[in-house]
Amino acid sequence: MEEIILLKRKATEIRMELLKMIYEAKTGHTGGSLSNTDILTVLYYKIMNIDPNNPNWDERDRYVQSKGHAVESYWAILADKGFFPKEELETFSQFNSRLIGHPNNKVPGVEMNTGALGHGLPISVGMALAAKLDGKSYRVYTLMGDGEQAEGSVWEGAMAASQYKLDNLVAIIDRNRLQITGSTEEVMGIEPLGDKWRSFGWEVVEVDGNDIEQLVDVLSNTPATSGKPTMIIANTVKGKGISIAENQVGWHHRVPTKEEYEEAIKELSQQLEVLV
Amino acid sequence: MKNVALKATPGNKIANRKVISDTLLELGKKDRDILVLTSDSRGSASMVQFGEELPQQIVEVGIAEQNIVGMASGLAHSGKKPFVASPACFLSMRSIEQIKVDVAYSRTNVKLIGISGGVSYGALGMSHHSLQDIAVTRAIPGLDVMLPADRHEAKKMIEALVEYERPVYIRIGRNPVEDSYVSEDYEFEIGKAVTMREGTDITIIATGETVRVALDSAEALEEVGVSCRVINMHTIKPLDEEAIIKAAKETGKIITMEEHSIYGGLGSAVTEVVSQTCPIPVKVLGIPDEPAITGKTAEVFKHYGLSVKNAKAIALEMTSR
């Protein structure tokens, strides 16, 4: 089977897994986890140089999930990659579980604790700068939300990445156009987003963030420009893959009912059937 | 007990920030992972020479305190040993969430040096005073808090911290502080208070620049026949509870002195221990809950009773003499 199909199948399976986690735990950030699933799938199954058996390997690529709340797809992928046993996913959000509602670096494969927005980029700038100082070739990837762009610390990090010419840094914005209160442009407009990042000295590339093929293409060709950090604005659909949740602000952290869950799994199974 | 406390004040002209910079420069030449991060604070942190001699080991972040802490945590996570040198007023407030999450919660080996701390920015006013930093930082799990008493302790503290793989907030003042120690010839251990002077009637527990005031107060008390112990609590967290309990049991009365709000700092830490283990009278001396008066450190200290005169009067009252 060709690679793109396999990646698409993987993303669909991850969606099924994360929905199960959220449905069983009765908590979770459904919309954002579904919108970022394709991005994470391409990073973890195609792009990043990582070793689940040696999660702290010095030369590994780093991933910092700045939009920490959309963690369910991340847990599902780390488990599937073998960073921890898959059965542990059943403990998601349960008492004293390490699989909490935000990335937790007590879990192998997670670099940093995140959850407070606007932190991931400055951290990633530090990691990328360390690689430059040490002459190491690893890359640093960070995923931000679009609502997160209102945090001032994002732009502090943006300036520093450009100042230090961190072309080993790739930031991705999950541009699903919705945040908890409503559309990003109503809550606090961020457009023209690409121009903002360009004016901060970044090379900006826009893609369909739910299109595996486009993501593979763009992420395989970084830095987009040598000497500059790369910003990938990934235009996504919040709630992607499940018709009732797609582009619905109410699904930011809504938990599906039994009927909705069964319907969603059916829908994803059908998507999987045609991916051959 | 070995006498480590200096009796008279000789007029030291070397600020702790200078000693810290010299120490980091010396250690940085041997360990290339030691980095200094500044937020346009290279001059006020006395790091100009460090930057000139080790240009690859100084990282300028600009006036961006959130980013400086975030970047430091990323650098530390990748094996570097970052020392952030940024004004205490901004570092402990503007970037407190990065300190809580990126440094303490993520357990990154970041050393945060709050420079120009307390009231040492003097006339610049409340925006530039840092009188809540101990309260805020000591409430964060996983973060240690330290204040050196003088240049000798500042040097020994930095040497110890280079080998210490935990997040730490260190607060120092801007100006030269009179020596409290005779020399560097004493044992410094993180988390272990130094009994600067033995005493049996009362104990003064001080930290940072108030240690010198405490020593002078004890001297003045001795002249009137009161035996005053002086404990230098250079590490506020982890707190040396043993030294506090011992002082409470042996002297029965405690005065605390700090360049900090009376809320949440050393005085609070001491009373938390004393009230739960060995309840005795404790008098907390510090800055009251108001925008601190402006002036030189000595003037501000005097105004708020962080003085020999006031400590002596309170000690005499507490010992009923």
The 3 state secondary structure assigned to B188-204 is CECCECEEEECCCCEEE
Residue B9 lies in a domain: no
The answer on B99 and B37 residing in a single domain is yes
Chain B hits for A122, CB-CB cut-off 8 Å, are 66-67, 69-71, 74, 98, 102
One digit per residue, the tens of pLDDT, for chain B of length 321 reads: 667 888 866 678 899 999 999 999 999 999 999 999 999 999 999 999 999 999 999 999 999 999 999 999 999 999 999 999 999 999 999 999 999 999 999 999 999 999 999 999 999 999 999 999 999 999 999 999 999 999 999 999 999 999 999 999 999 999 999 999 999 999 999 999 999 999 999 999 999 999 999 999 999 999 999 999 999 999 999 999 999 999 999 999 999 999 999 999 999 999 999 999 999 999 999 999 999 999 999 999 999 999 999 999 999 999 986
Judge: B98–A153 Cβ closer than 8 Å, yes or no.
Answer: yes
- Count CA atoms within 13 Å of residue B93 on its CB side: 13
Give the residue from B139, B171, B203 where a domain finishes.
B171
The answer on B23 and B149 residing in a single domain is yes
The answer on B141 and B21 residing in a single domain is yes
Q: To the nearest whole angstrom, how far is the Cα of A178 from the nearest Cα of chain B?
A: 25
The answer on B304 and B259 residing in a single domain is yes
Residue B6 lies in a domain: no
Compute φ and ψ for B205, nearest 5 degrees: -105, 125
The CATH number that applies at residue A18 is 3.40.50.970
Burial B47-82 (b: 16+ CB within 10 A, else e): beebbeebeebbbbbeebbbbbbbbbbbbbbbebbb
The answer on B151 and B45 residing in a single domain is yes
The CATH number that applies at residue B39 is 3.40.50.970
Judge: B80–A133 Cβ closer than 8 Å, yes or no.
Answer: yes
- Per the DSSP assignment, residues forming a β-bridge with A205 are A232
Q: Give me B241's structure tokens.
A: 């509870």
The answer on B163 and B222 residing in a single domain is no
Judge: A126–B72 Cβ closer than 8 Å, yes or no.
Answer: yes
The answer on B232 and B295 residing in a single domain is yes
φ/ψ bin of B64: left (φ > 0), alpha (ψ from -120 to 50), beta (otherwise): beta
Handedness of CA A34, A225, A113, A188 (dihedral sign): negative
Q: To the nearest whole angstrom, how far is the Cα of B72 from the nearest Cα of chain A?
A: 6
Enter the ipTM.
0.96
Domain count, chain A: 1
Domain count, chain B: 2
Chain B hits for A159, CB-CB cut-off 8 Å, are 62, 64, 67
Report the residue from A126, A127, A159 with minimal CB separation from B62: A159
Judge: B66–A122 Cβ closer than 8 Å, yes or no.
Answer: yes
Pairwise CA distance, residues A239 & A233, whole Å: 18
Do residues B157 and B148 lie in contact, with contact meaning Cβ atoms separated by under 8 Å?
Answer: yes
Chain B hits for A62, CB-CB cut-off 8 Å, are 78
Question: Which residues have a Cβ under 8 Å from the Cβ of A217 and sit 6 or more positions away?
Answer: A207
Q: Which range marks the domain in which residue B284 is found?
A: 194-315
Chain A residues 15-74 with a CB less than 8 Å from chain B: 58, 62, 64
Active-site residue among B52, B60, B65, B209? B65
- Omega before A223 within 30 of 0, i.e. cis: yes
One digit per residue, the tens of pLDDT, for chain A of length 276 reads: 799 999 999 999 999 999 999 999 999 999 999 999 999 999 999 999 999 999 999 999 999 999 999 999 999 999 999 999 999 999 999 999 999 999 999 999 999 999 999 999 999 999 999 999 999 999 999 999 999 999 999 999 999 999 999 999 999 999 999 999 999 999 999 999 999 999 999 999 999 999 999 999 999 999 989 999 999 999 999 999 999 999 999 999 999 999 999 999 999 999 999 999
Find the closest chain B residue to A56 by CA distance: B78
Judge: B101–A115 Cβ closer than 8 Å, yes or no.
Answer: yes
Chain A hits for B75, CB-CB cut-off 8 Å, are 126-127, 129-130
The CATH number that applies at residue B220 is 3.40.50.920
Q: Which range marks the domain in which residue A132 is found?
A: 3-274
Residue B217 lies in a domain: yes
B65 is catalytic: yes
Number of neighbouring beta carbons within 10 Å of residue A176: 28
CA B81 to chain centre: 21
The answer on B143 and B213 residing in a single domain is no
Find the closest chain B residue to A121 by CA distance: B70
Give the residue from B137, B171, B205 where a domain finishes.
B171
